[in-house]
Amino acid sequence: MCSTSEKIMNLAQDYIQIRGYNAFSYKDLAQDLKIKTSSIHYHFPKKEDLGVAITRRYTEKCIEFYGGEVPLEGNHLQQFKTYLQPFIMASESGMKICLCGALSGEGLSLPQALQAEVFQFITYQERWLASLLDSGQKAGIFSFKGSAEAMALVTFSTLQGALTISRAKNDRTHFDIVVKAIERAILIQPPV
pLDDT in tens, the chain (192 residues): 789 999 999 999 999 999 999 999 999 999 999 999 999 999 999 999 999 999 999 999 999 999 998 888 889 999 999 999 999 999 998 788 999 999 999 989 999 999 999 999 999 999 999 999 999 999 999 999 999 999 999 999 999 999 999 999 999 999 999 999 999 999 775 544
> Is the pTM for the entire model greater than 0.85?
yes
Which residues 6+ apart lie within 8 Å of 157 measured at CB?
A: none
Which residues 6+ apart lie within 8 Å of 115 measured at CB?
A: 107, 108
Q: Domains of the chain, with CATH numbers?
A: 52-185 (1.10.357.10)
With b meaning 16 or more CB within 10 Å and e meaning fewer, what string describes 59-89?
A: beebeeebeeeebeeeebbebbebbbebbbe
